[in-house]
Structures are given as structure tokens and as C-alpha cells.
Structure 1
Amino acid sequence: MDQAQSQKKFAIFFPVFLSFFVMGFVDIVGVATNYIKKDFGLSDSMANLIPMMVFVWFAIFSIPTGMLMGRIGRKKTVLISLFITAIAMLLPLCFFDYFGALVSFALLGIGNTVLQVSLNPLAAAIVSQEKLASTLSMGQFIKAVSSFLGPVIVAFSASQLGNWHLAFLIYCIITVLSVVVLFTLPINESAASETPQQSSSFRQIAALLKDRHLVYCIIVILLIVGIDVGLNTSIPKLLMERAGLDLDDAALGTSLYFASRTIGTFIGALLLIKLSPVGFLRVTLIVAILAFAGMMLSSSLWPLLILIAVVGLACANVFSIIFTLALKHDMTHSNEISALMIMGVSGGALLSPIQGLITDQWNFTSGMSVILVSLVITGFISFKFKS
């Protein structure tokens, strides 16, 4: 009986956790941007349009996705997101040029937006409230593992398969597998009819934007996601310029960053049991600012790698802490606040174009100062929250 129950639990959770793995595919945009720039001889400003094409959709599709989910259900919404992601992964295999890359990553961004809005509620529909927090934490860990593996898969495709964008074939196969296994999962969504109507939701969101605490949370989410994408894109180029690595080796620096973030998530989960989230946030952001300033000044491989790891560790828990601070501030509007936080992921489209323009106008170090300024602003805002 116990074995049968274990098999049943695995059958239920495997499709959901596999979808969390697909959610991490969006982070391939950083290392892919460097390869696309090299393939087509792009300027920094042109290359940084690619991350923008991914993350701008979080501002556009988050609320409509919530409305769609209320009408057709969570499982169908997740399946739609996976289908869009599979198409995004298939396009570079059919035709590969700069325009095709923009279209592919735009679809990846749309699919990821729909997935992030709908997957957590889907998980909530199949677990008890007591186990929901641990289930979502495990999902975020799986997403982090996927993000960590992205540059490794790209480097493997480039060195062993002879073409880096064959990584999209691997991603496409995993996404199709996720569609198949989720399609077979029976889910009772009879209790999932709480989604607010569209008109009331927009009115509530407009009212929430009058709350200064929530505005601070949104700004931090915008900036930390922009910082994350900026680092994702900049780390390979930093290692190429400062340490003389080729692109295939330098791309693994992004994996180091994501590995550090994954470890940092575990350390943060343990420390935050006893420590104040606001105090922890302030200390880690100060560490991130100092470490990133050191990255801008360093020109040796090992100091750069150590500082990249420190920045990853320090930034690992900012998103989850801010998300928690926002939800705890007003639990009666948790759905609307969650939508606002996901919309804040569009910050990934905010900093990269600015960084690219400054790099083209002056130099790479000047472009990296955009990330430093964003970290400083985020650190300043952290002192606006009550301990």
C-alpha cells in the first residue's frame, strides 16, 4: 500500500516539477545572447534587445493570464504555456538568423510568463496547505538547477555536437515530454474558481499601487530581475575581456553564478528561520554591492570567479524576501499582489538595453555600472522596510 501511494505521489508531482524545470529555460537568454552576438556580429545594443524580447512580456501578459486561468483552469493554462515554449525551442532549429532569434525568445518570454503565473496555483491545487510552502520551495530549487544547467548544455552543444543552438533541440524534447506527462495528470480544480473578474482585478491593482510599501517592493523586483539578467549577459563577456577565456569556457561563468544562487537559496532558507528577513536583506545587498564593485575592478580569473560566486550567493534570496514582504503586508489581496510581483519580472527588459547602449557609447565597464547603480538603489530601498 505504501509503495502504491508513493507511486501515486510521484505520478502527480513529476509533471509539476518537470514544468518547474522548463520554467528555468528562460535563463538561457544570457549565454545565448553572447553566442548570437558572435554569430551575427551584433553591437551590444542590438544584442541586448534579445533579453528585452524575453522579459517585456511579463508586464503585458501577467494579468491577462490570470483572467485566462480563471476561465479555462490552471492545468490547461500550464499546457498552453508549455506548448508555446516548445514552439519557441523549435524555431531556431528550423531557421536561424537574428530575426528568428528575436521571435524565438519573444515566444519563450510569453510562454514563461504564462507558466510562472499558472504553475504555482496548479501546484496549490494538488497539495495540502500544510505542504504547499515546501512544494513551491522545491519547485524553485528545480528551476534554479535548470538555470544552472543552461550554460552547461549550451557549451556541450557547441563543443560536442558542433553547434551551440542544438541546445534548443534538447530543451524542445524536455518541453514536449513535460506536455505529454502533464496532459495525463488528472487534477480536480473544482476549488479553483476563486479567480477575480477582470474589471475588479484591474481596479484593485490600481488601488494597490497607491501603497508606498508595495511600490517599493515592485521597484526592487524590477531592479533585481534586471540585475540578474544583466549579470547573466555580462559574466561571459567579463571573463573573456578580463581573463582571456574563449566564449565556450566563459559561458560556464554563468553556471557558476546560478550554482551560487542555488546554494544561496538553501543557506537563506535555513538562516531566515531565525533571522529577520529585512535585516538579512540589507546585509546581503551590502555584500552584493561590495562584491560587484570588486568585479568591476578585478582583472584576474580566480578573484573574478570568487566575486561572481559571492554576488550569486548575496542576490539569491532578494526576490523571495521581497515577495514575502509584499504578501504579508496585505494578505487580503494576495492574488493581486502576486500578479504585480510577476509583472515586476519585466525588469529583465529594463536594464539590458540601457546597459548595451552605454557599452556601445563608452565601454564595457561603463555598461556594467548600470548594474552597480541598480544594486545601490535596491540596497537603499531595503532600509525603507520596517524590521
Structure 2
Amino acid sequence: MNKSSKLSIIPVMLCFFAMGFVDLVGIASNYVKEDLNLNDATANLFPSLVFFWFLIFSVPTGMLMNKIGRKRTVLLSLIVTAVSLLLPILGESFELMLVSFSLLGIGNALMQTSLNPLVSVVATGKHLASTLTFGQFVKAIASFLAPYIAMWGAIATIPTFGLGWRVLFPIYLVIGIAATVFLAGTPIEEEEMDGGASGFGECFRLLGKPIVLLSFIAIMCHVGIDVGTNTTAPKILIERLQWTLNEAAIATSLYFIFRTIGCFTGSFFLRILKPRLFFAISIVMMALSMIGLFVGESKIILYIAIALVGYGNSNVFSIVFSQALLSVPEKKNEVSGLMIMGLFGGTVFPLIMGFASDAVGQVGAVAVMAVGVIYLFSYINKVEM
């Protein structure tokens, strides 16, 4: 990697941090629920909205990158994200939060689709995989800091200008603006784009291939469990341990800490273990986690369960994504677009979990996630040895 590429990596990594802003939706939806006195089904509309936009924007973003380039697409995503972070500073009404979370989802859909390909411009060959892994680590820092910043804002003795937990938004807004300025000022030479981006019809026809369809559903389950745990773990601590929301917010950070550890150690284990074996171990950890979340009544059991699902779910996306790409090597762009659209699972799961928890408590939400884990068990045999 030459010196100019090394310098280009710095603003790109700052963009990965900005990509992690989307995970504030879990703890933020809990605070919005408390502030506006919402039920679970309504509160879970916020994380669902965020991930709905992946269904709409993933493939069009590929088309946009062919026209304006990857760097400009990432810059556009940062601008949309900055606007989404500005709105909650102006107020906390239900309608304003809906618009804010929608823009956060749109910005993140643009960013998820365009930032990883941009990395391939500044880090090539043997450096690419390690750079992408480090990017996921940087992203995870933003994810697990969000609950702590929100907690600090909620109980801070220093002035937060009436924002309380919403002080999270101006802090991340400043970082988002910095990422935009640094990336805009960094020269990155992109290669010429060959061919056109895939259309919706071309993508959906690939679902006729069983492995592509099964992988798409697996991605939906992975993201649904990810967002579901992010949103529901604090509620379980509140329900079982009678904690306040500020105390229970640690559950979200615990999840992201173990997901981060899983990303790092997973890259090592995948070099010494067969992918199918490591995938199976990961799903068993998630299954044990679901049992713990079902029956756990003590802090230690619930903490262990949250840690297990964080670690177990950390490498599911990369394994499933790679299996899908390997299955249709001549259609990598189309398959990639479909897998990114699978992030729509972050919309479906929280909505169903919200209705289930309103009906029977948080065990209902856990039951919905458990269905996703059961499906992932069925995918084990699809992973190449």
C-alpha cells in the first residue's frame, strides 16, 4: 500500500465510524418510547423504518455509483446522514423522529452499498480483507459508544441544552461533518466503471436459484436478530430485573462489544477451521443465547446470553455473503445487490417482535428471533466445507 493510499484510508475509516451511527436506533427507540409513552409495536417502528430503505435503495445505489462514482456516492450518504442527525436536535415529536430515522436508514443504505467498494480502490490485493475487517471494527466502536453517550446525556449534571439523551445526535453530527469534509478533500482515483448496474428484475430472477434464495433469507434472519437484540435486550433487563432504561442501556453496548470481538477473532478462526464448522459453532452459540433470553432471570445469565448472540451473530453475514457470491460467480454484482437488500430483515423482525412483546411480554420477541436462529440451523449444510 503506497503512502497516498495510506492517507486515503484515514477518511475512509472515519466514514466507517459514521456507518455505525445506524446502530444508535436500538437505544434511541427505547428512549423515544419512554419520552412519548409508546407501546412496543409503535416504538419498534423506528428500527423497522431504518432498515426498510435497504430494500428500496441498494440496487439503485449501484446504478448511481456507475454514474457519479463511489466517492461521490459515499459523500451523498454522509450528507443525508448528517441531516438525519440534525433533526432530533430541533425537537422530539413522533413525526420528526420518523423523518429522522427514515433519513438515517436511507443514508446508511447508500453508505453500506458504496463504502465497501470504495475501500477496494484505496486498499487492494492482500490488504483489502484486513482493511475491511478493520473498518468493521471502527464501525462497531460507534455502535457500542451510542448507548453510553445516550446514558451520559440522560443523567449528565453538566448542561445538555435540554437535549438529555438526544445529546448523542449533535456529537455524532460533528463527527459526520468531519468525515464528509475529510473525504471530500482527499483525492481518490477510481477505475473506470464497465457495464451498467443491475436492475431489479435482473436481481430478482436470481432468486430462482435455491442457494441465492436461501442465502437471501439467511441474511434477513441475521440482520433481524442483530437489530432485534439491539432493540430488545434492554427491554428484557427492564422487565426481568426491574432496571431503569439508563441502567439497562448497557445491554446494547455488551452486545456490540462481543460482536466486535467476534469480528476480529472470526477472521482468525476462519483461517484454521472449516467455514461450515465455524458457522455451526456460531449458530449453536446463538441457540444457547435464545434459551438464556427465554428463561434467564438473573443478571449473569442474561449478560451471558447477550454476549453469546453478539459473538455468534458476528460472522454470519460474511459467511453467507461469500457463499452466495461463490454460487453464481458470473453474477456477483446482482447477487451482492440482493444480499444488501436482505438487510430488509431489520425491518421485518422488529415489527413482528413488537406485536409479539405487546401480546405476551419480551419472551414473545425472543421467540421471533429464535425462529431466525432455527432457520440458520437449516443453512449449515449449504455452507461449503
Alpha-carbon deviation of 1:345? 0.7
Match of 1:122 in 2: 118
**Contact 2:353–2:365 (CA<8 Å) still a contact in 1?**
yes
Q: What residue number does 2:294 align with?
A: 296
Q: 1:223 aligns with which of 211, 221, 224?
A: 221
SS at match of 1:181: helix
CA distance, structure 2, for counterparts of residue 169 and residue 231 of structure 1 = 25
* Contact preservation (8 Å) 1:213, 1:385: no
The equivalent position to 1:367 in structure 2, one of 365, 368, 371, is: 365
Alpha-carbon separation, structure 2, partners of 1:192 and 1:175:
28
Distance 1:342 1:201, change over 3 A: same
> What is the aligned partner in structure 2 of residue 270 from structure 1?
268
Question: Which residue matches 1:331?
Answer: 329
Supply the AA of the counterpart residue of 1:63: V
Matched residue type, 1:60: I
SS at match of 1:338: helix
Does the 8 Å CA contact 2:290/2:370 hold for their aligned counterparts? yes
Matched-pair identity in %: 43
The match for 2:306 is 308
Find the counterpart in structure 2 of residue 283 from structure 1.
281
Runs (4+) off by over 4 Å? none
Question: Which residue of the other structure, out of 60, 65, 83, is the alignment partner of 2:61?
Answer: 65
Aligned letter for 2:193? S
In structure 2, what is the Cα distance between the partners aligned to 1:328 and 1:68? 25
Structure 1 regions of 5+ residues with no counterpart? none
Quick one: which amino acid aligns to residue 320 of structure 2? I
Aligned counterpart in structure 2 of residue 344 of structure 1, from 342, 345, 355: 342
**Partner in structure 2 of residue 232 of structure 1:** 230
Checking the alignment, whether the CA contact within 8 Å between 1:37 and 1:47 is kept in structure 2 is yes
Does the 8 Å CA contact 1:282/1:383 hold for their aligned counterparts? no
Q: How many residues align?
A: 380
Gaps of 5+ in 2: none
| Contact 1:151 1:255 (8 Å CA) reproduced | yes
CA distance in 2 between partners of 1:126 and 1:367 (Å):
42
AA paired with 1:338?
Answer: S
Q: Distance in 1 between matches of 2:266 and 2:72?
A: 34
Whether the aligned pair in 1 keeps the contact of 2:320 and 2:383 (CA below 8 Å) is no
Tell me how far apart the structure 2 counterparts of residues 94 and 58 of structure 1 sit (CA, whole Å). Answer: 26
| Structure 2 residue aligned with 1:174 | 175
1:381 CA drift (Å): 2.3
Q: Secondary structure at the match of 1:272?
A: helix
Cα distance between partner residues in 1 of 2:362 and 2:310: 20
CA distance in 2, matches of 1:202, 1:105: 25
C-alpha displacement of 1:11: 2.7
| Amino acid paired to 1:331 | P
Matched, 1:88 2:87: no
The residue aligned with 2:204 is 206
Aligned to 2:193: 193
Answering whether residue 380 of structure 2 is matched by residue 382 of structure 1, we say: yes
Higher mean C-alpha displacement, 149-158 vs 8-17: 8-17
Residue deviations 1:62-104, cap 9 Å, x none?
0111101100111111000000000000000012211111110
Name the Cα RMSD after superposition: 1.6
CA contact (8 A) 1:227 1:371 kept: yes
